[in-house]
Structure 1
Amino acid sequence: MSCTFRSTTRRGQSHLPEKVRWNEAGAQYSLFEKEKLPRFPFSIDQEGDIYVTQPLDREENDSYVFYAAAKDEYGKPLARPLEIHVKVKDINDNPPICPSTVTVFEVQENEKLGSNIGTLTAHDMDEENTVNSILGYRIVEQTPKLPTDGLFLVQTYQGVFQLAKRSLKKQDTPQYNLTVEVSDKDFKTLCFVQVNIIDINDQIPIFEKSDYGNLTLAEDTDIGSTILIIQATDADEPLTGSSKIVYRIIQGDSEGRLGIDTDPQTNAGYVTIRKPLDFETAAISNIVVQAENPEPLVSGVTYNASSLATFKLIVTDVNEAPIFSQDVFQAKVSEDAAVGTKVGSVTAKDPEGLNVSYSLRGDTRGWLKIHPVTGEISSVAPLDREAQSLYRVRVVATEVGGSSLSATTDFLLTLTDVNDNPPRLVKNYTGLFLCYPLNAPGSVIFEATDDDQQSLRGLHFTFSLGSESLQNHWEVSKINGTHARLSTKHTDFEERLYEIPIRINDGGRPPLEGTVSLPVTFCTCVEGRCFRPAGHQAGIPTMGMAVGILLTTFLVIGIILAVVFIRIQKNKGKNNVGSAQASENQPLRS
């Protein structure tokens, strides 16, 4: 099979001068795609000529790859399919596209001539880096034409805008609208550019007065209180970064006790208290405030004395409560610390220099005491982490003399664990049973724990029988660190309850061992459930006792009935004898 490529395909052509030929006559030709496309715009006739059946669009698909096949009259392939590549050449059929409806640039009013103020980048969908996609830019209109037309120029092929004639002044006009023609070889498009003029910061804030006098406050004045309003003005454009005023204390308040908030509408400054005032450390302060703009001043303009104001802050003394050196005091001690051990200390000072006395509140367990003078805290009773691992008490510091003002803080005592609890069963095992009679050795599983911290005991218990006499009947095997299995060694057990002593060792430091009783009941089972007689309770007779009582009752009743029967018989005999005697003594009647 041969292939001859004659020319490239262009939009609107009806055929592709591409021809394939089989060496012998009678071949039947067909085309099929290499990859499935939304549409396949080619066909082939039985002469081997390939045609374009639909318009081609390079922006949709710039190339096609497909195969031409030749078969004989029976449909048998005559040769391997021939791969054909078609490249779609671009034509200039797309106009330039503006990047947005309006492109916005901003420029300061003191911008120098020739400065770049922005770039307009239009787009053309035709093939890149060809004559069809090269764009040119030209300003066709400036609105308004104040103070003159032609204030801006644009680089023809880069789209870069520059200031052409003079520096801009916002008072002339705050905004310019430019109409820009963007063109390629055949098409033209109008794009729109908006240039906003930004006011420059060439005016400094000026205080309405330079000295606000003396300001007297008590040292316990509330935080957040507004204590003074100051005012400066700025001649730059209102409500811009050039005219907004920020007030900053530059002298007299190294502790940052004061702050100044600015009203965004009026530029008034509200002096507030940010931290507590302190007569003892700063009774009198000479405060210096500077008014500034958040936006930098232009070159050649600097702040001067007109942007400064002062006032004197006088703080009066107030009797204050003691102050603790920390917000919260914390300590850690082992739970086995001896009674009388020092566990921590607190410190507080009175601002007026008075002595301080310490006391405790909330010592609900009675574990601690505090030295009233030194603030040392010690134990007065045994500590127990298992009862309470984090113990919180309130410490009260009261000034001695004066107004007896006081302050409180928390003392947190963390108790660290020691291995002082023997192991125990994790629950009360009342439902352990084995079916009676045993057909094979059986077993039950149980779990151990103790009340010490897991990190100390490590969940590594060891288990053993608590009595050597049971070793022929029972055995204990460990399953894991907390679980074990109690198993029978034979099947010859009675139908009753067995209390098996189990010895458990926690392996701690020092190791503790406990012996527990594990109840196991042998009982008759029905469908896997245990049915066993109720256990004897105090005051309730057993079955044997009940039977004995019942028999005794029947015996007593029988004796009573026998006695009654005998007496009745005797009485009948007496009555019969009396009747006979009476008859003998009576005379005969005819």
Structure 2
Amino acid sequence: MSCTFRSTTKQGQFHLPQKVRWNEPGAQYSLVEKEKLPRFPFSIDQEGDIYVNQPLDREEKDSYVFYAVAKDELGKPLAFPLQIHVKVNDINDNPPTCPSTMTIFEVQENEKIGSNIGTLAAHDMDEANTINSVLEYRIVDQTPKSPREELFLVQTYTGVFQLALQSLKKQDTPQYHLTVEVSDKDFKTLCHVQINVIDINDQIPIFEKPDYGNLTLAEDTAVGSIILVIQATDADEPFTGSSKILYRITQGDSEGRLGIDTDPQNNTGYVMIKKPLDFETAAIHNIVFQAENPEPLVPGVEYNASSFATFNLFVTDVNEAPRFSQQVFQAKVSEDVAVGTKVGNVTAKDPEGLDISYSLRGDMRGWLKIDPVTGEIFSVAPLDREAESLYRVQVVATEVGGSSLSSIASFHLTLMDVNDNPPRLVKEYTGLLFCYPLREAGSLIFEATDDDQQSSRGPHFTFSLGSESLQNDWEVSKINGTHAKLSTKHTGFEERVYNIPILINDGGRPPLEGTVSLPVTFCTCVEGSCFQPTDHQPGMPTVGMAVGILLTTFLVIGIILAVVFIQMKNKGRDNVENAQASEVKPLRN
């Protein structure tokens, strides 16, 4: 069962054009919601008539679905619940609303007549695509009204704004305020539109004067020094890309020795030295400045002579120190080059054309010498990569005559490795021990290294016994490229130290071998530890030493006690004898 009802905001009880009725009298009727709602605006009486007892609002809810239930006097359902669907029809009860308090559009100065400026999209909450929600737009006021009224128009049903009569000038009026009436068939609403006129770059920068005269500077004037202030103006809107001025040098400074910074507040240009001046390269600079905007000019407007200015810079000579062709010279040689081999060279020139004398500083190892005239560098002693793989010295270039000014550069000599170091043990092995007597074969691990430069894969040593006479007692086996294992072949070793020679080969080009000695000790173990009277830590006595010290201490104490006892006994005897002598001594008259 379905029915419709018009949306209303009136309060009271309204009878729906529907009723439910059980065939027999005595039925009890009730309504049951299909969905839980904040409010349920319907009721049913015991005659089966359904009523609307609260206002309906289509914009809040446009349809309801609920059930009518009939029960007997005992509350037993008489039939299945009857579903009722109510549709709320729209009435025009909502006025149009503006999209915002103020809608803002922008239009450029040179916008063509008829160009779209923007769209005012008002809204109506009534049912869409019905006469209740159809909106009409009309401009009712324009402020200011200069240079004339009706500069803008709005499409009646779309809300699209257009430029109506002429192009605008920001200098004349930078902003317009429009009042727009938006209406449906019953309501009217006033919306407000602001149209900002946007400046375009139709004015070129103009220098305050076309010629900034002459300036003379010494070539050693400090980098960063401001040498000139220039000024141009622009009639476009201030603090925009159309009026901002950038200065650049278009002629007279091909090496970029000058730079120009612009003050963003007043477009003042500060000309400064960005790189050192050079009298020998260019004594006169005929500079041409150009002032331009970061934004492009509009079509039909071009930069002209007003945007250019000139300036003459004269550079005077100053006696300067020699200049190296580069600050760091690098060379690479093998570490086994013969003494007297040329390993590199440096070059410098004096700006005034004077002769130069070269010398070295910081040659701490005394490996190099330099030809004072040519700048060629030679080895004067054997080189050693293992001592220093990158050898750094300073080269001094001093002008001959004049004021003897000098300059310094660096010379870096990279020494390439040759295989000139035999393998060796990575450390001194002094604690290789076996408990005596040896009950089963055992082994010890040791590690080798090489002072030469290793490949990316690391060293690859081979290991062997250094004496054939030991092959019945010992065996050496390789674990990896750096580690090997020394193993016993039997258990019949004496309690002593064995020095086992090991031959290690590095496999280089050419290969080098080194013989090392591994001291292996067989000694008696006490509770799993091997004690050696001759090989203990400094300051730590062995067991024998401890016992000896203890016995010596007891002996010294005994002697001291004996001496004291004897002295006490002798003293007692003397006292007795003295007493007896006193008793028999005759008296004198």
Q: Identify unmatched segments of 5+ residues in structure 1.
A: 13-36, 40-56, 63-85, 555-590
Residue 479, structure 1, aligned to residue 482, structure 2: no
- Quote the Cα distance in structure 2 between the aligned partners of 1:528 and 1:250: 91
What residue in structure 1 maps to residue 41 of structure 2?
A: none
What residue in structure 2 maps to residue 22 of structure 1?
A: none
Residue 252, structure 1, aligned to residue 229, structure 2: no
* Matching residue's letter, 2:464: S
Deviation of 1:304 (Å): 2.4
* Matching residue's letter, 1:508: G
* Matching residue's letter, 2:320: E
Deviation of 1:232 (Å): 2.0
- Quote the Cα distance in structure 2 between the aligned partners of 1:296 and 1:490: 96
User: Residues 160, 514 of structure 1: CA spacing in aligned structure 2 closer, same or farther, 3 A cutoff?
Assistant: farther
What residue in structure 1 maps to residue 349 of structure 2?
A: 349
Residue 507, structure 1, aligned to residue 507, structure 2: yes
* Matching residue's letter, 2:358: Y
What residue in structure 2 maps to residue 288 of structure 1?
A: 288
Question: What pairs up with 1:102-141 in 2 under 5 angstroms?
Answer: 103-119=103-119
SS at match of 2:499: strand
- Quote the Cα distance in structure 1 between the aligned partners of 2:518 and 2:304: 92
SS at match of 2:480: coil
Identity %: 79
Aligned-residue Cα RMSD (Å) equals 4.7
Residue 269, structure 1, aligned to residue 272, structure 2: no
* Matching residue's letter, 1:493: F
SS at match of 1:202: coil
Question: What pairs up with 1:291-330 in 2 under 5 angstroms?
Answer: 291-330=291-330
Contact 1:457 1:508 in 2 (8 A): no
What residue in structure 1 maps to residue 369 of structure 2?
A: 369
Deviation of 1:142 (Å): 4.5
Question: What pairs up with 1:3-152 in 2 under 5 angstroms?
Answer: 103-119=103-119, 142-152=142-152
Deviation of 1:185 (Å): 10
User: Residues 474, 289 of structure 1: CA spacing in aligned structure 2 closer, same or farther, 3 A cutoff?
Assistant: same
Q: Deviations over 1:433-452 (max 9, x none)?
A: 22333222111111111111
- Quote the Cα distance in structure 1 between the aligned partners of 2:474 and 2:123: 93
Residue 420, structure 1, aligned to residue 399, structure 2: no
User: Residues 269, 521 of structure 1: CA spacing in aligned structure 2 closer, same or farther, 3 A cutoff?
Assistant: same
User: Residues 487, 109 of structure 1: CA spacing in aligned structure 2 closer, same or farther, 3 A cutoff?
Assistant: same
- Quote the Cα distance in structure 1 between the aligned partners of 2:335 and 2:123: 79
Deviation of 1:323 (Å): 0.9
What residue in structure 1 maps to residue 520 of structure 2?
A: 520
What residue in structure 2 maps to residue 236 of structure 1?
A: 236
What residue in structure 1 maps to residue 279 of structure 2?
A: 279
* Matching residue's letter, 2:196: N
- Quote the Cα distance in structure 2 between the aligned partners of 1:237 and 1:390: 62
- Quote the Cα distance in structure 1 between the aligned partners of 2:185 and 2:486: 98
* Matching residue's letter, 1:215: L
Which moves more between the two structures, 486-495 or 373-382?
Answer: 486-495
User: Residues 206, 529 of structure 1: CA spacing in aligned structure 2 closer, same or farther, 3 A cutoff?
Assistant: same
What residue in structure 2 maps to residue 495 of structure 1?
A: 495
* Matching residue's letter, 2:261: D
- Quote the Cα distance in structure 1 between the aligned partners of 2:518 and 2:88: 95
Which moves more between the two structures, 104-113 or 483-492?
Answer: 104-113
Which moves more between the two structures, 276-285 or 99-108?
Answer: 99-108
Contact 1:153 1:163 in 2 (8 A): yes
Q: Deviations over 1:262-281 (max 9, x none)?
A: 12222221111111111112
- Quote the Cα distance in structure 1 between the aligned partners of 2:127 and 2:522: 95
- Quote the Cα distance in structure 2 between the aligned partners of 1:143 and 1:161: 16
* Matching residue's letter, 2:350: D
Deviation of 1:527 (Å): 5.8
SS at match of 1:455: coil
What residue in structure 2 maps to residue 408 of structure 1?
A: 408
Which moves more between the two structures, 240-249 or 277-286?
Answer: 240-249
SS at match of 2:469: helix
Contact 2:533 2:542 in 1 (8 A): no
- Quote the Cα distance in structure 2 between the aligned partners of 1:263 and 1:450: 65
- Quote the Cα distance in structure 1 between the aligned partners of 2:100 and 2:196: 17
Deviation of 1:485 (Å): 1.0
Contact 2:392 2:413 in 1 (8 A): yes
Deviation of 1:248 (Å): 1.8
- Quote the Cα distance in structure 1 between the aligned partners of 2:188 and 2:436: 105
- Quote the Cα distance in structure 2 between the aligned partners of 1:397 and 1:11: 101
* Matching residue's letter, 1:403: S
SS at match of 1:469: helix
What residue in structure 1 maps to residue 212 of structure 2?
A: 212
Contact 2:153 2:164 in 1 (8 A): yes
What residue in structure 2 maps to residue 468 of structure 1?
A: 468
Q: Deviations over 1:405-441 (max 9, x none)?
A: 1111111111111111111111122222223332221
What residue in structure 2 maps to residue 559 of structure 1?
A: none
User: Residues 436, 123 of structure 1: CA spacing in aligned structure 2 closer, same or farther, 3 A cutoff?
Assistant: farther
What residue in structure 1 maps to residue 559 of structure 2?
A: none
What residue in structure 1 maps to residue 25 of structure 2?
A: none
* Matching residue's letter, 1:451: D
Residue 393, structure 1, aligned to residue 389, structure 2: no
The number of residues matched between the two structures is: 494
Contact 1:419 1:457 in 2 (8 A): no
* Matching residue's letter, 1:233: T
Q: Deviations over 1:9-62 (max 9, x none)?
A: x999xxxxxxxxxxxxxxxxxxxxxxxx999xxxxxxxxxxxxxxxxx999999
Q: Deviations over 1:186-244 (max 9, x none)?
A: 99987765432122333332222222221000011111111111222223333232322
Which moves more between the two structures, 495-504 or 379-388?
Answer: 495-504
User: Residues 278, 130 of structure 1: CA spacing in aligned structure 2 closer, same or farther, 3 A cutoff?
Assistant: farther
- Quote the Cα distance in structure 2 between the aligned partners of 1:226 and 1:279: 19
Q: Deviations over 1:279-306 (max 9, x none)?
A: 1121112212122222333333333222
* Matching residue's letter, 1:424: R
* Matching residue's letter, 1:235: A
* Matching residue's letter, 2:368: L
- Quote the Cα distance in structure 2 between the aligned partners of 1:409 and 1:90: 94
Which moves more between the two structures, 411-420 or 154-163?
Answer: 154-163
SS at match of 1:454: coil
* Matching residue's letter, 2:471: Q
User: Residues 528, 121 of structure 1: CA spacing in aligned structure 2 closer, same or farther, 3 A cutoff?
Assistant: farther
- Quote the Cα distance in structure 2 between the aligned partners of 1:325 and 1:492: 75
Deviation of 1:469 (Å): 1.4
Residue 198, structure 1, aligned to residue 226, structure 2: no
Which moves more between the two structures, 223-232 or 111-120?
Answer: 111-120
Q: Deviations over 1:54-99 (max 9, x none)?
A: xxx999999xxxxxxxxxxxxxxxxxxxxxxx9x999999999977
- Quote the Cα distance in structure 2 between the aligned partners of 1:288 and 1:421: 67
What residue in structure 2 maps to residue 443 of structure 1?
A: 443
User: Residues 58, 268 of structure 1: CA spacing in aligned structure 2 closer, same or farther, 3 A cutoff?
Assistant: same
Q: Identify unmatched segments of 5+ residues in structure 2.
A: 9-34, 38-56, 63-84, 556-589
- Quote the Cα distance in structure 1 between the aligned partners of 2:493 and 2:115: 108
SS at match of 1:438: coil
User: Residues 185, 332 of structure 1: CA spacing in aligned structure 2 closer, same or farther, 3 A cutoff?
Assistant: farther
- Quote the Cα distance in structure 1 between the aligned partners of 2:126 and 2:499: 97
* Matching residue's letter, 1:532: Q
- Quote the Cα distance in structure 2 between the aligned partners of 1:509 and 1:448: 18
Deviation of 1:489 (Å): 0.8
* Matching residue's letter, 2:299: S
User: Residues 203, 420 of structure 1: CA spacing in aligned structure 2 closer, same or farther, 3 A cutoff?
Assistant: same
Contact 2:205 2:292 in 1 (8 A): yes
